[in-house]
Amino acid sequence: MPETQTAIETPESSNEEQVLAIISENPEELALLAESENPWTRAKVAENKNTPEEVLHMLTQDEEVPIQEMAKATLLKKKSSKITELPSQRKIEIRSLAPSCQRALAGTSTNPEELAFLGTSEDKWIRAGVAWNENTPEEVLRAMLQDENKGIQTTAALALKCRELPQKSTN
């Protein structure tokens, strides 16, 4: 009886290729690995923070949906990281907050670094709060257009659109 195959197989011969995809910092090497026939290798390239943006954009069109999502997430992190990095101590403080408190912070913070950090949260409700926050930097909202969640993509697009509208004068 033939063996049933999983959706994505990982040939033993490609272990070295997969390790390279994880640890490489070389953009040219990562670009070559992104064209591998092995989906596990492409997935590791999509997750590697050193993968060039143009390669990640290519991987957002991969035939494997999980690879597309990984590449989009890595692009989002890269775009958000262009804002000054939030100090490690503050990240620890934010992570230690209850999720409801993180959601409240996402909707009320005026600190661009906090908003960029919260915009990469695994919690979609925190990311949604960042997208609705009028203080969220434009580059964070643009990065959120690539979010894995369609609702967050839409919210970010609406927030950007609202910023383009002329402001009414209160005089």
In this structure, which amino acid lies at residue 156?
A: A
- The pLDDT assigned to 118 comes to 95
- The pLDDT assigned to 135 comes to 94
| Reported pTM | 0.53
- The pLDDT assigned to 84 comes to 67
Question: Residue written as tokens 């070559």?
Answer: 32
Distance CA 80, CA 147 (A): 12
pLDDT surpassing 50 at residue 141: yes
Per-domain residue ranges for the chain?
A: 14-80, 88-164
CA-CA-CA-CA dihedral for 95, 97, 98, 104, to nearest 10: -100
Q: How far is CA 165 from CA 1, 133, 158, 162, 168, in A?
A: 65, 16, 11, 5, 9
13-33 pLDDT, tens digit each: 468 888 888 899 999 999 999
The arithmetic mean of pLDDT across residues 83-92, rounded, is 82
